[in-house]
């Protein structure tokens, strides 16, 4: 097994994707669309879209992948470190 095959085999892959239309949020009592991705490592990631936004399941899967491989703390750190404000 070469190094590339070994590295790829360590990454979790998508096992199942569930799309739930119009789920009721218990806290806000609003309807939300939810995408749930179950991974091969046994974890799951959720992306929600409230009723005021346009819902696209493909975008939901993309958000789940981003959440899995780039957690919020890391994303905020990268945005602070790498962002340059340009006025004009």
The reply to whether 6 falls in a domain is no
Taking the whole predicted model, whether its pTM rises above 0.85 is answered as no
Residue 3 domain-assigned (yes or no): no
Percent of the chain at pLDDT exceeding 70: 80
From residue 51, give the alpha-carbon distance in Å to each of 27, 32, 35. 14, 6, 14
5-48 pLDDT, tens digit each: 544 556 678 888 988 887 777 776 777 888 999 998 899 999 98
**Residue 31 belongs to a domain:** yes
Please tell me the predicted confidence (pLDDT) of residue 78: 77
pLDDT value, residue 22 = 77
CB atoms within 10 A of CB 47: 19
Query: For residue 87, is it within any domain?
Result: no
Residue 6 is predicted with a pLDDT of 46
64 located within any domain: yes
For the chain, what is the domain count?
1
**Residue-number span of the structural domain to which 20 is assigned:** 12-82
Instruction: Give the list of residues 6+ apart from residue 27 with CB closer than 8 angstroms, or none.
Output: none
């Amino acid at each position: 097994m070469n190094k590339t095959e070994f590295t790829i085999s360590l990454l979790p892959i998508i096992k199942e994707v569930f799309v739930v239309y119009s789920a009721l949020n218990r806290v806000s009592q609003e309807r939300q669309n939810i995408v749930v991705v179950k991974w091969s490592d046994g974890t799951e990631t959720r992306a929600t879209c409230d009723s005021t936004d346009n819902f696209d399941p493909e975008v939901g899967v993309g958000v789940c992948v981003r959440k899995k491989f780039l957690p919020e703390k890391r994303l905020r750190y990268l945005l602070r470190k790498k962002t340059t404000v340009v006025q004009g």
